[in-house]
Structure 1
Amino acid sequence: MVAFFERFDPTIQALYATLFTWGVTALGSALVFFFKTIHKKVFDTMLGFAAGVMIAASFWSLISPGIDLAEEMGFNPWLMAAMGFMSGGLFLFIVDKTLPHMHLGLGPKVKEGPKTSWQRSVLLVLAITLHNIPEGLAVGVAFGAVAAGIESSSLMGAIALAIGIGLQNFPEGAAVSIPLRREGMSRSKAFLYGQASGIVEPIAGVLGALLVLSMRSILPFALCFAAGAMIYVVVEELIPEAQSNNNSDYATMGVMVGFTIMMILDVALG
């Protein structure tokens, strides 16, 4: 796998990696052809798993390399990490308040952002798309960090991050398409809506790689920015929704398993 990626420049590496994560989202959405419902306990466990993966990836794949690079470049490491991390969260906060969307675990009448007449299906896709912006960005920035020659970054580590993001995209794809099918939408249309939520990842991945390659000095900030945006999604949406159906034990174990798998991928392979 490493040999395959080594043949390409970082932007193409980021594109292939995020096409993979989009593809896994589509695989999750394809479950709609076999199931019409998701048991609440399974759904909450899946959300917890996604949260655990994102938490682990935020530190090992993003914040830690960002701090190392800040030190190498002569920046104040804790200040750079703090500024990038908080900026990522603030960016998602602003997007969350300005773009109408609907959280997966909430009822059909609970909408966020500006008032709109958009259909529930569109709002659900937008909610997952918000997740996928920082995820795609994180993968792209990780490949850019490898090209920048950061000691704590490696091509295998960037690939491991893409694998981890892909793993947690599987339940997210299913979490969009299956509820839409349950509400009466056809299987094929529910699948199309579910996989569409992952389209933004290749776009964000390529943009992230191009950004850090053209302006290497912002790479420490960009790494921590992506981490902050991912943690914002986890704390503001994934964990609260996973805990909303009185299945906290299942959701918590999902977080533990997701964190552990991502930690193994990043530390052992990276």
Structure 2
Amino acid sequence: MTLGYIIAATLFGGVLSVVIAAALTVGVLSRIVKGLVSLSAGVLLGTSLLHLLPEAFESDAGADRLFAALLAGLLFFFLLEKVELYRHSHHHEGDDPHHHHAHGFDAEQAGRGGWSVLLGDSIHNFCDGLIIAGAFLADPTLGWVTALAVTAHEIPQEVGDYIVLVNAGFSRSRALLYNALSGAAAVAGGLIGYFLIRPWEDVFPYLLVVAASSFVYVAVADLLPQLQRRLHLRETLAQVLWIAVGLGVALGAMALKHAA
């Protein structure tokens, strides 16, 4: 059953994001991405700080070693992003009223980066699959909570990548196909994680800490900076509301976990 859960959870985020991208126009996607970024920031912070880290620190692993794993995880994802292998790109034309580059400039930049986006996204999805597998092996309910957090981040990320690919000259169907294939890397990560990690129960707390470091890094280094723009009061309140909704989702999942 655990293996089936892992496959279902790793498929869900990629499929859902592709379905959303297929159903909506680029203009609509450009508008909803902003709300989804705020929502996913709340879900990621709530899941990492209220679920994964407390679960890890309740184990027999020493706090000093877990904090060392947290530090190592943050530095690891920082270095991966430095070499553009861990890429979270939500930029698209028209997302900034002060963006003065010519239309052709964005298309040219996206054209050079289209394939690197797919490569970085595949590696990112593979890592997500490993994280989901480790969470399910530690506790099935925690696995679903982690999968929810991954899915919350995957939707705006995949939608943003889809917009970049379209700007790069990919046809709509081709961009969706490549996004779907990239999402399949999460399933591969989940399968490999299940068979490689399962015999090593002692490493589960460290995997949870690494998962938490991934979520914290994405939220603090990538998502929240995108929200730090000079906005009208109404837009700022909308951001805060969506972050609160994301935290509420994480709290609700925690309540379900304790009730289970």
TM-score tier, shorter chain, comes to 0.7 to 0.9
Contact 2:90-2:157 within 8 A present in 1 as well: no
Q: Distance in 2 between matches of 1:245 and 1:26?
A: 31
Q: What residue in structure 1 maps to residue 238 of structure 2? A: 250
Which TM-score applies when normalising by structure 1?
0.75
Q: Distance in 2 between matches of 1:106 and 1:131?
A: 20
Q: From the two aligned structures, give the one with the greater helix fraction.
A: 2
Q: Distance in 2 between matches of 1:66 and 1:54?
A: 16
Say which of 219, 232, 249 aligns to 1:261: 249
Q: Distance in 1 between matches of 2:175 and 2:164?
A: 8
RMSD between superposed Cα atoms in Å: 3.1
Q: What residue in structure 1 maps to residue 97 of structure 2? A: none
Q: 5 Å matches for 1:144-223?
A: 144-146=137-139, 155-181=140-166, 184-223=169-208
Q: Distance in 2 between matches of 1:233 and 1:19?
A: 21
Sequence identity of aligned pairs in percent?
Answer: 21
Structure 2 CA distance for partners of 1:41 and 1:35, relative to 1, 3 Å: closer
Q: What residue in structure 2 maps to residue 151 of structure 1? A: none
5+ residue gaps, structure 2, are 94-100
Aligned residue identity for 1:88: G
Contact 2:135-2:143 within 8 A present in 1 as well: yes
Deviation at 1:253, TM superposition (A): 2.5
Contact 1:242-1:251 within 8 A present in 2 as well: yes
Say which of 74, 83, 87 aligns to 1:89: 74
Deviation at 1:242, TM superposition (A): 3.2
Which is further off, 172-181 or 123-132? 123-132
Deviation at 1:217, TM superposition (A): 1.5
Which is further off, 228-237 or 249-258? 249-258
Q: What residue in structure 2 maps to residue 140 of structure 1? A: 133
Q: Distance in 1 between matches of 2:257 and 2:20?
A: 25
Deviation at 1:237, TM superposition (A): 1.0
Q: Distance in 2 between matches of 1:29 and 1:202?
A: 20
Say which of 21, 29, 39 aligns to 1:29: 21
Which is further off, 254-263 or 208-217? 208-217
Which is further off, 177-186 or 227-236? 177-186
Deviation at 1:145, TM superposition (A): 0.4
Deviation at 1:99, TM superposition (A): 3.2
Q: Distance in 1 between matches of 2:153 and 2:127?
A: 13
Structure 2 CA distance for partners of 1:21 and 1:232, relative to 1, 3 Å: same
Deviation at 1:249, TM superposition (A): 3.8
Aligned residue identity for 2:215: M
Which is further off, 225-234 or 181-190? 181-190
Contact 1:144-1:209 within 8 A present in 2 as well: yes
Partner deviation per Cα, 1:217-239 (whole Å, 9 max, x = no partner): 21111110111122111111111
**Corresponding pairs, count:** 242
